[in-house]
Chain A
C-alpha cells in the first residue's frame, strides 16, 4: 500500500479528542486574536455596546427624544447628574442624557457595521477582480482607486448629505463610494501573490472556470484581510457620522453621539461647563473606536507575522 504523507500538524489537529468550540474556530478562521489582553479588552467593550444597542429599550430610563419635566412640573432643563433622578443629567431642552447615550450606541453600531460591511465588500470585490484579471481591467480599476484617493472624504460626505435627504445612510453611501480604495489596493496585491501559487495555477490548468477558482481558492484566502479592513472601517464610520451630525448634516430624527455633541455645542454647554453633557458621548465614541483599533492592531501584527 502506498504511503500517504500527511504532515504531522494535520494529524494532531484532526485526531484531537475535542474539536474547539465553533466560536473559537470562527475566531481562528478570521484570525481574531483571543489571547491578547488588548484585543480581549476591545472585544469586551464591543460586547457591552452591542448589549446596550440591542436592549436599548430596556436599559434606557426615558424616551431619548421626549421633553421631560421635573416632579414639580418644571422643564427638566440643564439638570446635573443625579438631580431629580436623572442619572447623567438632562439637556437644555429637557431630554435625558443617559437615555440618549444608550440609544446613541444603536445608531453608532448600525452605521459602523453596515458601512464597514459595504467598504469591505466593495473593496474586496474590486481588489479581487483587478488582481485576478489583471491587464486593462486592473489598470481601469486602479485608476478609479487613484481618483477615489483624490476625493477629500469629509467634504464629499458633507456635500452628499446636503443634497440627499437627511439620513444616517448618507455616511454609509459616501463611505462605500470613496473608502473602498484602501481595501481594494491591499486585496489586489494579496490576490496577485495568491494567483502565482501552485494550487491556483493547477486549478487553472485543470480547466476550472475563473469564477470557481476565485470562489474556491482565492476568496477564502482573502477573507481574513477583508475582515481586517472592514473592522478598521467601523471606527471610521462612527467618527465620520459623528462629524457629520456635529456639523448639522445628520438625521435629525435619530439620536446619535454626534447629534448629542452638536446639541450640546449649540446649546452653549461649553460655556455652561456642562461636562456631564458633552464628555460622555465623546468617551463612548473613543471607547468603541479604540476597541476596534486594539483588535485590528493585534490582527495586523498576526498578519505581518504569518
Chain B
C-alpha cells in the first residue's frame, strides 16, 4: 500500500517538474527580447501561411491564452514547424533521437563497465602506488572539457593517423536501405568510435570514484568480515558480497548519468558533426530556428526528468531493503 502511495507521489512530483520546465520554456521563448512572434512564425512564409500559423498557435491572442494553446499543442505532441527543414519539429526530433541515444548509451556502457571494474580494483589496492597515481589521473579526466578531449582525439586519430573518420555517421555517398542497416554497418561503427570514446573517457570517472568509495565503505561492513570468517574465497568475498553491495548506488547513478550525458552531448556532437539532438539544438539556436530549438530542449529535459525518476525506481528495485519492505 505504502509503495503505491510513494510511487503516486513521485509521479505527481514528476508531473509538477515537467509542467514547470514546460512553463519556463514558454516564458523564455515568449518574454525574451526580440519579436515574440518569431518564436513560431517563419518570416519567409507567405502572409497567408503566417496568419494560419498565428491562428494555430494563438499568437494573436493574449499571453495566458497563448499559454493554454501551447500546453494543448504539447499534449497532442504538436511542436510546431521547423523553419530550416520545413517539416514538423516532432518528425525532425524523431530522426535525431536514435543517434543521440546510441552515442549516449554506447559511451556510458563502456564508461560504467570500465569504471566499476577499475573502481573495485583501486579499492582493493588501496594505499598502493597504483591507487596513488590513478586517483589524480581520474580527477584530471573529470576536469577536461569534453569537446577539447574530442578535438585532441580527432587531431590524433583522424587527421594525423587517419584511423577514423572525422565526423558524421557515415561516409559521404554511402547509402543504406534502412536505419537498422546503417546502425549495424562498419561505416557507422567507425564513425561512432571517436565520439563514444570521448564521452566514455570523460564519464568513467564518476562510476569509478563512486564504486571505489562505496567498496571502501562496504569492505568495513560486518558481513564482509563474516564472509571471510566463513572461509569463502577472496573472489566470493570481494565480488559477491562487497562489490554486489557497492554496486547499488553506482547502478542508480547510471540513470542520472544518462540525463547528464545528454547535456554533454551538446558539445561533443558539435565537435564530431554527429547528427543528434544536442548538435541540432545548437544549430537551431544559432539559426534562430526557435520551434526546433524549443522541441530539442524539451526532448532533452524530458529524458533528464525521466532518468531522475528511473534512478529512484532502480534503487527501489535493486535494493531488497526497499523492494521487499
A interface residues, Cβ below 8 angstroms from B: 38, 143, 146-147, 149-156, 158-160, 162-164, 235, 239, 242-243, 246-249, 258, 261, 264-265, 269-271, 273, 275, 278-279, 281-282, 285-286, 289-290, 292-294, 297
Contact = CB atoms under 8 A, between A and B. Distances in A.
B147 interface: yes
A135 B263 CA distance: 34
Given A261-B148, A278-B148, A285-B143, 7 more contacts: A151-B301, A151-B304, A258-B145, A282-B148, A282-B149, A282-B152, A289-B143
Contact of A278 (B33, B151, B263): B151
Nearest to B296: A155
6 contacts: A155-B263, A162-B285, A163-B33, A235-B143, A290-B142, A297-B139
Contacts of B34: 163
Given A158-B285, A261-B148, A270-B154, A152 B304 contact: yes
Contacts of B28: 159-160, 163
A150 B20 contact: yes
Contacts of B300: 152, 155
Q: Which of B18, B24, B151, B305 has the most CB of A within 10 A?
A: B151
B17 A286 contact: no
Contacts of B139: 290, 293-294, 297
Contacts of A159: 28, 285, 293, 297
A239 B151 CA distance: 15
B223 interface: no
B270 interface: yes
A220 B147 CA distance: 40
Interface in B146-180: 146-149, 151-152, 154-155, 158-160
Nearest to B146: A243
A163 B140 CA distance: 33
Contacts of B263: 152-155
Q: Which of B145, B152, B262, B270 has the most CB of A within 10 A?
A: B145
A247 B266 contact: yes
Nearest to B304: A152
B136 A270 contact: no
